[in-house]
A and B are shown apart, each in its own frame.
Chain A
């Protein structure tokens, strides 16, 4: 009965590779988000989708491409991975922007 689930939990890969992180929520929420948390624990929003439509894109390199096949899923694809992409990536969802966000457990991405 996991509310927001993201896979994989850990991702270790070489620089230059392409990888995807999947996120699914079973809460019936309309809005989903991707966040990046760096090594200093600073949490920054990357993208926000509402009912499959992109509403926030926070100056993220275009190597990052979110895809929302339906409002319960928001996947993140990253091309040509760089060392600076190493971080924990969190997916989250909420009923709308006024409501609290429910977070997934995070995906720790490590670039070798």
Chain B
């Protein structure tokens, strides 16, 4: 069974608009962490934001924020004021116990000028 689900294989967004990338997860472990990574066309993996399962507030990092809804098991990434350089693959990932990290299948985001 899929533990991390990203339902949007691709998205197109107009520059300067906000965009939400969906991520749902499945775990019975009360302690877990959720990550978002960006992979531009150049191929490197760039860490964006982290949310721990016990964190009371949603994580924010500059233009990135994580809309963490624990009861719904969702951890959507919100990018405000999108820029052309935001065009990339975005991966949601979950860390369960024993250091295991599971990645979603990714969402390809394309920003239109």
**Majority secondary structure, A binding face:** strand
- How many cross-chain pairs have Cβ atoms below 8 Å apart between A and B? 57
A45 CA to B3 CA, complexed, in Å: 14
A89-109 interface with B by 8 A CB criterion:
90, 92, 96-103, 105-106, 108
User: Does B29 count as interface, using CB distance less than 8 angstroms?
Assistant: no
> CA A31 – CA B98 in complex, angstroms?
12
Q: Is the CB of B99 within 8 A of A31?
A: yes
Nearest CB on A from B86, distance (A): 17
**B97 to chain A: closest residue by CB:** A97
Chain B binding surface, main DSSP class: strand
Given known pairs A31-B99, A55-B98, A106-B44, the reply for A98 and B105 (CB within 8 Å) is no
Specify which chain A residues have a CB less than 8 angstroms from the CB of B89 in the assembled complex: 41
Convert A3-41 into 0s and 1s, putting 1 for each residue whose CB lies closer than 8 angstroms to a CB of B: 000000000000000000000000000010100000011
Give the Cβ gap from A98 to chain B, nearest Cβ, in Å.
6
Chain A residues in the interface with B (C-beta under 8 A): 31, 33, 40-45, 48, 50, 55-56, 58, 88, 90, 92, 96-103, 105-106, 108
B residues within 8 Å of A by Cβ? 33, 35, 37, 39, 43-47, 50, 52, 89, 91, 95, 98-103, 105-106
